Structures are given as structure tokens and as C-alpha cells.
Amino acid sequence: MTKPLSDIVQDIKPSGIRKFFDIVSEMRDAISLGVGEPDFDTPWHIRDEGIYALEKGKTFYTSNAGLKELREEICNYQKKHQGIEYNPLSEVIVTVGGSEAIDIGLRAMINPGDEVIIPQPSYVSYEPCAILAGAKPVIIDLKAENEFRLTAEELQNAITDKTKVLILPFPNNPTGAIMEREDLEKIAKVIIENDIYVMSDEIYGALTYKGEHTSIASLAGMKERTILIDGFSKAYAMTGWRLGYACGPSEIIKQMTKIHQFAIMCAPTTSQYAAVEALKNGEEDVKMMRQSYNQRRRFLINAFKEMGLECFEPFGAFYVFPCIKEFGMTSEEFATRFLEEEKVAAVPGTAFGDSGEGYLRISYAYSLEKLKIAMERLKRFVDKLRALQ
């Protein structure tokens, strides 16, 4: 019998912190700081709209690219917040989470051997999706001294004549780093000079705590070479609805829609109706949640300062990324001991790439009360480690 498995799939390494996840999953009583999703429920009026869609029997497929009304609302949103004008009929596709958009976006653009530049630490899907699409991933290790922003020099040094796409994951999971307009302008210049494309994952865009988020697609000459990915999971606390979207040049969206049509058909209809409500009437909810995240962010940064733990101030997403190098342990050792000795689960930075070594991802998608207890335990833990040094 021939071997049943694909070599490409087998070669993709499983998450390097399998062991840590296994220990965590057996500790039900641990306080977790480990999730990558909001602690808020989806606002009721949005859930209600989903329920109403079911009641009215809206249980059919939508068009492949998504409900026209939803695509129009997405275009309104991007125009209002970024000043970018997309055509709802040809430049938008509604996907099953931002994750699907990453996958089909890469598959639509990659020829065998093309290089995809991936700055790390970053979300775990980019590298495997690039490999599955037949690309060669080229990793840029982002640096703490730049507050984990991508610099034009780093980008220029990673570009070869095979480079096709840069993945630009800001606001960033796991570091919380953002890219401001002046940072993006320098990146855009390199992109245009080298005639490459950008896949800008802006799923945390609405969760920015220093001015309003800027999309690289809004800069001159960039709309035609950017796939903008966003969605409803983080901003509207809708992770379980599995709904995201991509906006970009019609020639790319057209091919993405082709893959989506054959692989997925369409995003869940109930979720799409709920998402229309989210975009129409959800701005106050986002504002309220952002304010709450921002308070927790300030609380954590202050707690680190008080315990003398090095951490740059992140202005996006709902993560902080403190440095634990002073304790002479790997991220995984630190996270494992922290879990075993204090029963708090935080994710080792190395889960998001080798350059996450020496850091810990702490999520603040938790109530202040929980964060307070967790920080008391972290303080006790680092005090103990320092006393032993």
C-alpha cells in the first residue's frame, strides 16, 4: 500500500510547544492568561440579529463572495476608517475567519518557489499556510529595541528576486506592537521600489490604543498591491462565528473567490447577517470594549514596572510581551514553571517564532480581578526566582 500522507504536510512542524499545551490542558484549576480571543460575549444586538436570521429561515447559501449587503457595509467601514474606496462587487470577499483569507490569499498569489516574507514573532498560521501554498517562507526576526516594529532596513535585507509577498501582521499577536503611519510609509516605499505585494493582517486594527489604526493600503500607491485582511472576531468579540474578510485588487480577489467557491462555498449565512448588524450598529460596543482593554493594558504595564519586569509599552491587540531573559531560562521553561508553581498559564514567546525566545505572551482578554490575582502570583514568582539567583 502506498503511504497515505503528503510529504509537504508531514514536513510542517507541529507547534514547538506541544508539551506545554499538554500540561496546561490537564490543569483545569489554573488561571489562564493564554487565550487569543475576547472575554466579552458578542454584543446582544448582534447575537439577536443572528437569531432573527435563523427564525426568518435565512438558512441558504449566500453568494460565494458573501452577502452583498455585508460587502457594502465592509466597504463603508473601510472608507470611513481608512479612507479607502473598495468596490463591493469586485474587491471584497467574506471568508471563514481571517484565517481563511490568509490561506486563500496566499494560494491565489503564490507560484512554486516564490518567497513570502514573514516577520516574527507573529501568529502561528502564516508560515504553514505559505508552505502549503508552495512558497518558501523567509523569516524576519523583529527586535525588541524597535518595539517589535518592522523596519525598512530589515525588510530590504530580506527581499530577493523571488520575493512575492510581505505579510504585515500589525497590530501584532503576540507582541501587541503597532505600526504607525510614519513606520508604514517607509515600508511602503520599499514595497513599491521592489514591486512586491503586501498581505496586511489587520484583524486587531480596531484594538489600537494610540490614535486610530492606519492601514498600509491607505497609503499612496499601496491599494493596488495590498490584500487587507480584517474580520469580526476580535473587534466585535465574534470568534465563534468564524467570519472575516479580505479587500484587495479585483484580479486577486477574483482568484481567491475561485478557491473559496470550490473549497468552502460561502461563509456561514447566520454569521453574515449578524455581521451586517455589527458593522451598522456596533461602533459603541467596540468603543466600550477598547476602553476596557486599554484599562487592563495600563494595569499590566504598571504591574510589570512595579515588579521590575522589562516590557515595552504595546499599543495594540490585547497582548503584552514582557521579557524574562534576566532569569536565565527559556520561555518554555519559565512558562512551565510558572504554571506548575503558581498555576498561571501564559504562552511562551517561542510559540510565535524563534525570535520570541526570552519573552512571554500575556493576554489581557480577562477581567481586571483575574489579572490582579495573576499579577500577584507573577510577582511572587519573580521575587522567588530573583532570591535564588
Partner 1 sequence: MRDELLSIIEKNSRIAINELAVLLGKEEIDVANEIAKLESEGIICGYHTLINWDKTSIEKVTALIEVKVTPQRGQGFDNIAERIYNYPEVRAVYLISGGYDLLVTLEEKSLKEIAGFVSDKLSTLDSVLSTATHFVLKKYKDHGTIFDKKHEDEREIVTP
Answer yes or no whether residue 34 interacts with partner 1 by CB under 8 A: yes
Answer yes or no whether residue 345 interacts with partner 1 by CB under 8 A: yes
CA-based torsion, 380, 381, 385, 386: positive or negative: negative
For residue 387, what is its C-alpha cell? 532570591
Q: Where are the alpha helices (DSSP H) in 243-367?
A: 250-263, 269-281, 283-306, 331-342
CB-nearer residue toward partner 1: 34 or 88: 34
Interface with partner 1 in residues 125-184 (CB under 8 A): 125, 173
Closest CA to 268 of 227, 231, 317, 229: 231
Answer yes or no whether residue 27 interacts with partner 1 by CB under 8 A: yes
Interacting residue with partner 1 among 16, 35, 137, 180 (CB under 8 A): 35
Interacting residue with partner 1 among 347, 362, 375, 378 (CB under 8 A): 347
Answer yes or no whether residue 373 interacts with partner 1 by CB under 8 A: no
Closest CA to 121 of 331, 383, 275: 331
Answer yes or no whether residue 187 interacts with partner 1 by CB under 8 A: no
CB-nearer residue toward partner 1: 82 or 336: 336
For residue 349, what is its C-alpha cell? 514567546
Q: Taking contact as CB under 8 A, which single stretch among the options 64-72, 103-111, 145-153, 290-298 is the one that binds partner 1? A: 290-298
Q: Taking contact as CB under 8 A, which single stretch among the options 19-27, 55-63, 108-116, 176-184 is the one that binds partner 1? A: 19-27
CB-nearer residue toward partner 1: 121 or 248: 121
For residue 56, what is its C-alpha cell? 426568518
Exposed, middle or buried, 57 (CB in 10 Å: 0-12/13-18/19+)?
Answer: exposed
Interacting residue with partner 1 among 21, 85, 87, 157 (CB under 8 A): 21
Interface with partner 1 in residues 36-65 (CB under 8 A): 36-37, 39
Interacting residue with partner 1 among 24, 108, 187, 279 (CB under 8 A): 24
CB-nearer residue toward partner 1: 25 or 63: 25
* Buried residues in 200-228 as b, exposed as e (16+ CB within 10 A): bbbbbbbbbbeeebbbbbbbeebbebbbb
Answer yes or no whether residue 302 interacts with partner 1 by CB under 8 A: yes
Answer yes or no whether residue 299 interacts with partner 1 by CB under 8 A: yes
Answer yes or no whether residue 98 interacts with partner 1 by CB under 8 A: no
* Buried residues in 311-337 as b, exposed as e (16+ CB within 10 A): bbebbbbbbbbbbbeebebbbbebbbe
Q: Are 155 and 189 in contact (CB under 8 A)?
A: no
* SS3 state at 257: helix
CB-nearer residue toward partner 1: 66 or 348: 348
Positions that interact with partner 1 (CB under 8 A) = 15, 21, 24-25, 27, 30, 32, 34-37, 39, 123-125, 173, 291, 295, 298-299, 302, 345, 347, 351-352, 368
